[in-house]
Amino acid sequence: MIKDLPPPTEAEEYRNTAEILRDLAAQTRFGRTRNELFNCAANLDPLAALAEHHLEGHGSNRPRHLMRVSL
C-alpha cells in the first residue's frame, strides 16, 4: 500500500537534494566533477538552515504555499 505523505518542507527539499548530489559525487570518476557536485551540495546546506529558521519564525513546519489563510 502506498502511503500519502505530505510534501517535504523547503528545508527538507534542500537537504534531500544535497544528499542526492553527495551520493552522485561519490560515484563519479573524475575529481573535478566530484568536487563540483560536493560544492553544490555544500551550498544547499545553508539554504536548508535558512529555510528552517524562516519556518520557525512563522511557527509552522509546513511549506508556506500549503498554509491555510483565514480571512
Q: Are 62 and 10 in contact (CB under 8 A)?
A: no
When pLDDT is averaged across residues 66-70 and rounded to a whole number, the result is: 43
pLDDT attached to residue 19: 97
What predicted TM-score, i.e. pTM, was given to this entire model? Answer: 0.70
1-57 pLDDT, tens digit per residue, is: 778 889 999 999 999 999 999 999 999 999 999 999 999 999 999 999 999 998 777
Three-state SS for the chain is CCCCCCCCCHHHHHHHHHHHHHHHHHHCCCHHHHHHHHHHHHHHHHHHHHHHHHHHHHCCCCCHHHCCCCC
| Residue the block writes with cell 483565514 | 70
